[in-house]
Homo-oligomer: A and B are copies of this chain.
Amino acid sequence: MESIKIKAPGTVANLVCGFDILGLALNEPCDIMEFRLLDEPKVIIHNRDAYNLPTDPEQNVAGVVLLAAIEKAGGTIGFEVTIEKHIKPGSGLGSSAASAAGAAVGANKLLGNRFSTDELIQLAMIGEKLATGVKHADNITPCILGGVTLIRSILPIDIVPLASPDLYVTVVHPQIEVRTSDARQILKQLIYLKDAIKQWGNIAGLVAGFMRNDKQLIGRSLEDVIIEPVRSILIPGFDEIKAKCKQAGALGGGISGSGPSIFMLSETEQVAREVGRIMHGIYERIGVENNVYVTTISNEGVRVVEHE
């Protein structure tokens, strides 16, 4: 195989109570990445978007992953990659994770699938580190594996694919900036044990709900008493959107990743679309430009769309 074209999906990390450990893959938006194998150890990047992302491989999320993949593969080959970015950077929908995971999987396919899943995640985390300063894996893992995934532990890496529940996901991305580093800094380093106990009840309930496809249990467990009360103050309209979407029948939801996107899970497409209209309407009224996606949980992660 000389070249390959893949789609790398957007992802929702944290899933309300599962801060830093849970994530799910979306069917849209997706980035499209086209890779060509080179016979010398270098990386050439073409960005097809309006985001002014760097083309220097050392400064580019996909670039650093590809450089690491080249080194890991013995340093004799290289990659030319064209990235068509549809997941807006800073949206909270795993834009950097899609670049990083897409690069790891794309390189791996062209190298004859020589890396294990754990190695792919390790490679992709190099890209996340460049983008966010932290080697977190809660977007990367569902991006690579699809469905809902658990990162039980980062050191050592321990990934548990949980399930691919048939749920609709509505996401609104308000065009405001919440930097991941800011969203991390406002978190309290110390929390109350009693709140942590509430949180772990909800995490356990959410995991059980996903594994059993018990939608009411999923809905009841989508509650976050620790992160959301702090982070949601950075997102205008958050409380109103959450309340009105649940009134309209959404099972529940919250901040996607570190925001500013907000996601809601629903059992039917009809509810998911109504939820989208509510989200859009509230941001229109507040005067914040926004994009709404109505999609489903993707049961596959990065997928090949073409190869030669």
Contacts and interface: CB of A to CB of B under 8 A. Distances in A.
A19 to B, nearest CB: 6
A258 to B, nearest CB: 14
Interface residues of A, number: 39
Interface string A132-169: 00000000000000000011110000101010000000
Interface in A182-223: 187-194, 196-205, 207-208, 211-212, 217, 220-221
A22 interface: yes
A45 B143 CA distance: 61
A264 interface: no
A201 B162 contact: no
A208 B205 contact: no
A68 B64 CA distance: 66
B192 A192 contact: no
A158 B204 CA distance: 12
A21 interface: yes
A228 interface: no
Given A153-B201, A189-B194, A196-B200, 10 more contacts: A150-B208, A152-B220, A152-B221, A158-B205, A160-B204, A162-B208, A190-B190, A191-B193, A193-B226, A200-B200
26 contacts: A17-B200, A19-B197, A19-B200, A22-B204, A150-B201, A150-B205, A150-B208, A151-B201, A152-B205, A152-B217, A153-B202, A153-B220, A162-B208, A189-B194, A190-B191, A190-B192, A191-B191, A191-B193, A191-B196, A193-B226, A196-B200, A196-B226, A199-B200, A203-B203, A203-B204, A211-B211
